[in-house]
Structure 1
Amino acid sequence: MSFGPELVWFWRREIEASFCGKRVQRVDGGNNSAIISFGQAELLLSWDSAHCGAAVVSQKERKNFLSSATHMPQITNALRSHLVGAEFFSADQLRRDRILKLSFRKTVGAGFSVVRYVFFELMERFSNLLITDEKGTIIETAKHIHPSDNAFRSILPGLSYSMPPLFEGISLEEWLASPRASEINRIAGFGKKLLRALSEQPLDVSERFLRAFYSSNEADIEFIPQALGNYITVLPGLLPGAARLSKGGSGTAAVLAPLRYAAFDARRKRVLSLLEKEILRRERQRADINALIAGRGAERFKQYGELITANLWQIKPGAREAELSGYSKDGGVYSLSVPLIAGVSPQKCAEIYFSKYKKIRSAAERAAALLPRIEEELAGYAETLEAARAVTDAGSLVMIEEEIGAIKPAAGRKNARAKKKEQLPPHLRFEFDGAIVFAGLSAKGNRYVTFKLANSDDIWFHAEGVPGSHVILRHSAALSAKERGDLLDFCASLAVFYSKAKETSRWRVDYTERKYVSPIRGGVANVTYKEFSSIAGSGAYWREYLEERKKDS
């Protein structure tokens, strides 16, 4: 998402209205962002090259965002030291550009106070955040810019802050004095994409929209956050072709949502990578075991030992190999060149070959005993992988992360045993009037919902022939035929969505009562079932079903 100076002007209004006169209670940092907390509301400032911007966020949003951060930026400690306890008293937009100046006053004792300024430059890959003293001397900056990086200016602690080059153009007031459609694209203080869109509108519409900005009566005007493609802006009316932004407004659309998704996507990629490595490891183990079981090396050593034992009298002392004869299983005579071990008698050589045969056979038997467990783990990881690919919410991802050890379980009660006991396998739960639906999000989650939560007469669902979620439907007899049919479609959709068949338009889903489902080791779903029916499931329907229920309620 991109934006222009007019959105920065709007954010200035929002920041001043939300935080003016309030004191900073804490400062946190995560990745390329800082969050200044004022109590009930928080100010997110992001200088991320792809998602820079400012947003007023809630405490819950702050916690969720910080939980996904991988590191704390170096400027965080400086912001904490100078801003915590300070009062925020003004927000300014500099030169009608994408630069914010946030002013703070902090009492240091005996009635004395100091002023600190936070300069926030919102310019994509050139975005930066820095804090200065009252004279404009830089205390710390998120990005250190050296003379070798930028010939125009340096941004380093100890230097005076200097702003980026001025954008050349005509002022809004100059244009409003004599509105001309041909001059709209030259107005300073607005993004090029917005000006281009306004130039295509009737001149009176463009004039009415632009007159609302940078005016003395701005407080009386209601602005509508909207998106022109990937461009975020605000206007006193909805521009033709623009999409009105949902709850959360421009800051959420431009900053919080993209940052949240980027962090979520990075975490999901890490989970997928871990699961794919475990699957590859199990596949290699399975291949090695099968090769060991099927290998003829052991039988060859046994054959060497038997031929040497049967032909001891023919073997010459000191020979490196001997052409020895024996009988095949069908009674025919065959001869084979048998390698002999130097410095060892033929009898001892035969014993060595028999010993190798026994060791290989013993290893193959032990490996064969491990094969069912390897197959079961492989099927389990495959199910978890498909669930991880499908999850779209942080809560479900956290459950999978905790199960595979990607993160530590969240701190809870002090009693470690109680905490461990309360940690349930990854699964989803949906409650409706007269029905409850469970969906496993991993192999353990599938076993949990199928063999722990489900009653014998509950209905069990699974996408046919592919790894995926076990879905359980528990419903009352009071449901109408239509309500039951809708729930069957909902559960079938869940089973497809959280499976390897997610990308298909429709997929066959088998369903039966839970009492007809039995656990087995290995294989798709790790169960066997009978007395089942089938239904075609669409991976998209379950979301549509939930949306419809929200509208009805």
Structure 2
Amino acid sequence: MSLDGIVTRAIVKELNDKILGGRIDKIYQPEKDEILLNIYNNGKNHKLIISSSSNNPRIHLTNQAKTNPPNPPMFCMLLRKHLSGGIILNIEQFHMDRIIFIDISSIDELGVSKPKRLIIEIMGKHSNIILIEKDNLSIVDSIKRVPENVSRVRQVLPGLKYQLPPLQNKIDPLNSNREDFYNLIVQVKPKTYIYKFFYTNYMGLSPLISREICFNANIDIDRPVGSLTAQEKEILLNTFMSMITKVKEEKYTPVLIHDPIKSGYKAFHALDIKQFGNYKKEYLDSISKVLDKFYLVNDTIDRIKQKSNSIRKSIENKLERSLNKLSKQKEELLKSKEREKYKIYGDLILANVHKIEERAKQVTLENFYSEGMELINIPLNPKYSPAENAQRYYKKYSKLKNAHTLLLKEIPNTEEEIEYLENVLNSIDNCTEIIELEEIKEELIKEGYLNPHKKKQNKKNDNIKSKPHHYISSDGFHIYVGKNNRQNEYLTLKMANKDDIWLHAQKTPGSHVIIKKDRKSISNTTLEEAALLAAYYSKARHSNNVAVDYTEKKNVRKPKNAKTGMVIYENFNTVFVTPEYSKVQKLKKVED
């Protein structure tokens, strides 16, 4: 995890600079594991986000707006009772650990000032936000209660005395010296990897910064400690101490490392990171800005993934059933094509009924439907008379004939359903905001694939709509890409003009892409860039030479009774592209 003790120290410094002495005006809880404090200080409003999310715990100042639930959760109400209007008296870090104490003035029911302490523990799945009485360390409550059946070592419940998480006998690097380093390196097992030596023995060091120490010392991270020469140990120590000196002197260089393969960021830190080579780096003047940008993408993606799991599973199950259904329908269709032989059997049996013996198991007759009058073997059921066997064949013929007619109607319906469900799964993959996932939910409820919500909806959010991707081509043309079926339908049927260019990956689920012509001629460059987006935001994003169809919007229409986002088109041309994230990343994206 990038958010280690060093980053925590940088956060605490920034919070002391920006909000110490500030007044807490408003308190919200947008997520079950996240709170947002509005703080007024020195004539400015600040928003402090504190999250105890298992995957993305953090604390930092933010500029992002959060959607709040219609009814505030109990922990939010409790914080409002104790902390609203309170002044921030102190912000400190516990040694070099990922634990922050925020002391806040508070007035009890009798009007007596009793300072509270808000404790933020950033510890992965054990992360927590705890409110305690500062004078006696009594727990008022926490965002995650920890009873004895969850942890026998340390309970976090109202009324209990707060205890710090168990220490792991690590050394605080801010107070360590050369002697500590050499004593530790002798004690560890010789086969221990060098980078592991640092984060397992020093408080607040993450695997990321431990690898950075090795990288800066030009020593392979996977080398065992026992293989180090005396000179290499000295180089490693000097590199380590140099980094700790920067931390002591608070010489931070907040940086983001872009992910070269997919959307989002690879890592971040309060110190410069060089181990990723040529990866694109983005330097900012604030650790909060770094965290805000990192988690705006990564935390949103994580929450979308969590919230979409049940929807995805439901759709995948329905898709599997539909695929099985289609397979059986096609098998039955093949069988139904053999129906004519059963009519011939019936005709031949009736024409020769007087020649066939009772209880015969089969009969060989001349096929008068054939020019050569070839002999044909016809199986018979000895339980029935020849005439009854003929009637059974006629019934079988009639049943297969009706089935054939019915299957010719049902198979396209099943194929349409499969196409729709695959489009839904692709839409879930394309989600970049929670509201887009909510739109997919609403659509699935409308189409009858999910049960309606029983919870009350927030009326304030009813009119909020998500927005499609918006790019500008190298030649200055505006390109729009739908993220879900609702957006696809809006782009194609409402926003696009008749002469705008519509694109879609051929015969595969994907986004509708619109090039706004504005009465200009579309260049090949713009067409290729739009086709690249159509291929990338489709199921074929990991394929080569993806076929992308394009036509004017006037050639696209929605069939009667079709599901949301489903269209047909004609008079199209095809271009082939290989979708690559690096190419998509180079296109100019507009944040509407």
TM-score by length of structure 2 reads: 0.68
Partner residue of 2:405? 365
Q: Percent identity?
A: 20
RMSD: 5.0
**Alignment partner of 1:377 out of 417, 431, 437:** 417
Partners of 1:441 and 1:256 in 2: CA distance: 18
Counterparts of 1:454 and 1:207, CA distance in 2: 57
Match of 1:158 in 2: 159
Deviation at 1:494, TM superposition (A): 1.4
Deviation at 1:189, TM superposition (A): 6.3
Residues 335-484 of structure 1 aligned to structure 2 (within 5 Å):
335-339=377-381, 351=391, 354-355=394-395, 357-386=397-426, 388-390=428-430, 392=432, 397-405=437-445, 428=469, 430=471, 435-441=477-483, 449-450=491-492, 453-464=495-506, 466-476=508-518, 484=523
Q: Find the counterpart in structure 2 of residue 219 from structure 1.
A: none
- Partner residue, 1:54: 59
d(CA) in 2 for partners of 1:147, 1:517: 60
1:504-543 aligned at under 5 Å gives the runs: 504=543, 507-514=546-553, 526-530=568-572, 532=573, 534=575, 536=577, 538-540=579-581, 541-543=583-585
SS of 1:102's equivalent in the other structure is strand
Where do residues 72-471 of structure 1 align in structure 2 (5 Å cutoff)? Answer: 79=79, 82-83=82-83, 86-134=86-134, 135-141=136-142, 142-144=144-146, 146=148, 149-151=151-153, 153-166=154-167, 167=169, 169=171, 172=174, 190-191=204-205, 194=209, 197=213, 206=243, 209-213=246-250, 223-226=252-255, 232-234=268-270, 238=272, 245-246=283-284, 248-252=288-292, 257-267=297-307, 272-295=312-335, 302=343, 306=347, 309-310=350-351, 322-324=361-363, 326-328=365-367, 329-330=369-370, 331-339=373-381, 351=391, 354-355=394-395, 357-386=397-426, 388-390=428-430, 392=432, 397-405=437-445, 428=469, 430=471, 435-441=477-483, 449-450=491-492, 453-464=495-506, 466-471=508-513
**Conserved? CA contact 1:468–1:496, under 8 Å:** yes
- Are residues 92 and 508 of structure 1, via their aligned partners in 2, closer, same or farther at CA, if it must alter by over 3 Å? same
Deviations 1:283-303 (A, max 9, x none): 333222222222158557656
| Counterpart AA for 1:131 | L
- Alignment partner, residue 18 of structure 1: 19
**2: distance between equivalents of 1:509 and 1:58?**
39
Q: What CA distance in whole angstroms lies between the structure 1 residues aligned with 2:332 and 2:93?
A: 72
Alignment partner, residue 502 of structure 1: 541
Instruction: Please give the secondary structure, in 1, of the residue aligned with 2:406.
Output: helix
Q: How many residue pairs end up in the alignment?
A: 515
CA–CA distance in structure 2, aligned partners of residues 122 and 484 of structure 1? 52
Q: Cα–Cα, structure 1 residues 510 and 23, in superposed 2: closer, same or farther, change >3 Å?
A: closer
Q: Distance in 2 between matches of 1:207 and 1:374?
A: 64
**1:499 alignment partner AA:** S
Gaps of 5+ in 1: 214-221
- Determine if the alignment matches structure 1 residue 63 to structure 2 residue 100: no
Structure-2 separation of matches of 1:203 and 1:346? 97
2:482–2:491 CA contact under 8 A, matched in 1? yes
Structure-2 change in CA distance of 1:181 and 1:456 (3 Å): same
Q: Which amino acid in structure 2 is aligned with residue 99 of structure 1?
A: I
Residue identity in the other structure for 1:460 = W
> Residues 210 and 453 of structure 1: is their aligned pair in 2 closer, same or farther, counting only changes over 3 Å?
closer
| Structure-2 change in CA distance of 1:513 and 1:239 (3 Å) | closer
Question: Which whole-Å CA distance do the structure 1 matches of 2:293 and 2:426 have between them?
Answer: 29
* In structure 1, distance between residues paired with 2:465 and 2:290: 38
Q: Secondary structure at the match of 2:588?
A: helix
Structure 1 residue matching 2:24: 3-state secondary structure:
coil
Name 2:29's counterpart in structure 1. 28
The 1:233/1:284 distance shift into structure 2, 3 A limit, reads closer
Letter in 2 for 1:234: A
CA contact (8 A) 1:179 1:207 kept: no
1:61-93 Cα distance to aligned partner (Å, 9 max, x none): x329x89xxxx9985665466445655443332
**Would you say the 8 A contact 1:401–1:407 is kept in 2?**
no
